[in-house]
Each structure stands twice: as structure tokens, then as C-alpha cells.
Amino acid sequence: MNQTLITSPSCGCPGMRPGDRYCSQCGAEAPVPASDLPSLRAAGALTERAPFTGLVPPPAPTPALPPRPLALNGPLLALAKNRPAVLGMLLCVGPLGLPLLWFSPAFSSTAKYIITGLYFALTAILPLVITWYFVDIGVRPLLQAFEHLRPQ
């Protein structure tokens, strides 16, 4: 169905099809004489389109997929069920083994919180305490040794 395109009589934009009530370029309403309306409707040449707003309609919502539960399977599940293996992993790789601990069904929630708290203390608090201690032991004697050089 090849239709010829005309210039819109209301706005002057090219590319309007005969019978359109609104310009496809700018959305301006094209005047249609009242005497032509019944014959155009009967012929199906008059289209009732909404005015052009220049906005793109939002995409249709897509259904959300249910979240997939995290789970271990295969050899990792066998490793997670073995308490000595999980503790050995924690000793070998340190805090990087905590996810395996939390996925392990071999430990209770209380044990998981206690072990995680101990690792936090060992990796965050203990280095700060050791640094503070050695700075106090190493720097204070030096300051006392050079105190006699300070001008009076």
C-alpha cells in the first residue's frame, strides 16, 4: 500500500500522509474540512492518532526474575561440610576463607559469628595494636636518647 506524502497544511512539514489528522514530524493538527470527514472516515483514510509530543514512551516492564539462591554444589559442598577442611582453609588463606565458612552447614550461626569476629580482630585490630606497641617501644627510647641534644 504505497501512499503519496504531502506537505502538512498547518505546519508545512513534509511527509504527512493524506487523511492524517496530526503531522508525523511536529505533531501539529491538520485542519480537515467538516464536509470531508464522513467520506474520509468511510474510506478509512482518516486516522485518529494522538498528537506528537516528542517523548518516547517508556518500555514495557519486564517481569523480574526470582533471585537465585546462592548454593555450593559438587566438590565445594563436600569441602564445606568438612569442619577441619574449613578451619584449614581459614588458616591457609585467612579472611578469604570466610565465605566458605558462611556457606558451610557444619557450623552453627553462633560459631560463624564468633569466628568472623575473631578474624576481624586478627586482621584489623591486632595489627593496629602491634604497630602502636612497637612505635612506643622503638620511638620513645630514641626520643629520650636525643633529649640531651635539644636546645635549652
For the chain, what are the domain ranges?
1-51, 75-149
pLDDT, one tens digit per residue, over 13-61 is: 666 666 666 666 666 666 655 566 566 566 555 555 555 555 666 677 7
Query: Residues 69-108: pLDDT tens digits?
Result: 667 778 888 888 899 999 999 889 988 899 999 989 899 9
Q: Are 21 and 49 in contact (CB under 8 A)?
A: yes
| Neighbouring-strand partners of residue 73 | none
Closest CA to 105 of 125, 81, 127, 134: 81
For residue 116, pLDDT beyond 90: yes
On average, the pLDDT of the chain sits at: 76
pLDDT at 46: 54
pTM of the model: 0.43
Distance CA 113, CA 102 (A): 9
Q: With pLDDT > 70 as the criterion, what percentage of the chain qualifies?
A: 59
pLDDT band at 127 (very low <50, low <70, confident <90, very high): confident
Q: What residues contact residue 17 under an 8 Å CB cut-off, 6+ apart?
A: 3, 5, 6, 24, 47
DSSP assignment of 78-140, as one string?
A: HHHH-HHHHHHHHHHHGGGGHHHHHH-TTS-HHHHHHHHHHHHIIIIIHHHHHHHHHHHHHHH
